Amino acid sequence: MLPIIALFWALDTRTALISRFLKGLQHALSSIDGEYELLIQPYVGTKLHEVRSLITGTRYNGAIIANPTEEDEEFLENTLLNVPIVLYQRSSAKYSSVNVDSFKSGEEVAGLFASRGHKHIGVIVPNVSSSAVRFRKEGFLAKATELGVEVNPAHIVFSDFSERGGDEAIRQLFRNQATLPTALFIISDQMAVGALAALNELGKLVPNEIEIIGHDDDEVTSYTIPTLSTVHLPVEQMAEECIHLLTGLMHHRTTVPVSKMLETHIVARNSCGGEPIE
C-alpha cells in the first residue's frame, strides 16, 4: 500500500485557495522519490478535536493541517498525535510548520499607504478566528501608529470572509461615517472583490477617491475593475515546503520540528500604485 498524506482544510470561504495549494502539492509530489496517495480531509474550524482519525492516526501516515483556528491551535498544542504533522500558515514550537511573517505583511501595506501620502486609512478584517489574520491587522495598525497615520476605530470593520462580507463592510463604512478613509487594507481578496463592487455602485472611484490593497493574490485580482493591488501569499511554494517537511518526518530523516518562513510582497496593480497621491 502507498503511504497516505492527509490534507486537512477548513470548511469556510478560504477553500478558494485550495486549488493553488493542490497545485503546489502536485508539483512537489512529482519531484520527490516514491509515490504517495493524497486524502483531502475537510474539517470545521474550532472542531478539529472532533476528527477522531487525527488522534488515532490509523487512516494516513502524515498530515498537513491548513488554516486551523486559534482554538484548533490550542487543541494541537495540548494533544499527543500519533502521526507526523506539518502546520500550514501557522507557527508552533511543537510541530513543523510553513508560514509567512503576517505581522510584517501588514506593516508593509501601512508603510506603502503612508509613502503615498495617505493620512486617514482603514482596514477590513475577515471575521474568523485566525492568528494569521490577526497578525496582519496588528502589523498594519502598529505601523500606521508608528508613522503617524490615523486609523479611526470606526474604520476598522470586521465582516464575513466572503465577497458579500466585503460589500457589506463598505456599506457599513458609508452608513457610519461622513468622512471615509482614503485607503483601505482589505485582508482577503475575496472580500476586496465585493468591496470593489460596492464602491462602484455607491459612486466612489477607485483609485481616484480611495485606494485598496487586498491579500493573497488570487487569480481573480488580475481581472477585477480596476485590477486589484494585493499582498502575494506564496501558496504554491508553501505547499511544496509542507510536502518536503512532512515526507522528511514520515521517513525519519527529520526528528525535530522545523520552521520554514517564506516571504510575501505587495503586487501593485491599478487599485493602488503609481505616483504618490496629491
Q: What is the mean pLDDT of residues 234-247?
A: 96
Query: Grid coordinates in use for 269?
Result: 496593480
Rounded-to-integer distance, Cα 204 and Cα 68, Å: 36
Rounded-to-integer distance, Cα 5 and Cα 59, Å: 9
Average pLDDT, the chain: 93
pLDDT (tens digit per residue) in 114-126: 999 999 999 999 9
84 pLDDT higher than 90: yes
User: 67: phi > 0 → left, psi -120 to 50 → alpha, else beta; which?
Assistant: left
- Domains in the chain, ordered, with CATH? 4-100+235-263 (3.40.50.2300), 102-232 (3.40.50.2300)
Burial class (CB within 10 angstroms; exposed 0-12, middle 13-18, buried 19+) of 65: buried
Q: Hey, which residues does 125 pair with through a beta bridge?
A: 158
Which pLDDT band holds residue 273 (cuts at 50, 70, 90)? confident
Q: What is the pLDDT of residue 14?
A: 63
Q: What is the pLDDT of residue 276?
A: 45
Q: What is the mean pLDDT of residues 25-41?
A: 92
User: What's the pTM?
Assistant: 0.92
Amino acid letter, residue 10: A
Say how many C-beta atoms besides its own lie within 10 A of residue 58's C-beta. 9
Which strands make up the sheet holding 265-267, listed edge to edge? 156-159, 121-126, 183-186, 211-216, 229-232, 265-267
Q: Which of 70, 158, 143 is nearest to 106 (CA)?
A: 143
- Going by the DSSP 8-state scheme, the letter that residue 277 receives in this structure is P
Rounded-to-integer distance, Cα 238 and Cα 18, Å: 12
277 pLDDT higher than 50: no
Query: Grid coordinates in use for 228?
Result: 486589484
Which strands make up the sheet holding 4-10, listed edge to edge? 37-43, 4-10, 62-66, 85-88, 96-100, 259-262
Q: What is the pLDDT of residue 146?
A: 98
Q: What is the pLDDT of residue 278?
A: 42
Q: CA angle at residue 95 from 92 to 101, to 5 degrees? A: 35
Q: What percent of the chain has pLDDT over 90?
A: 81
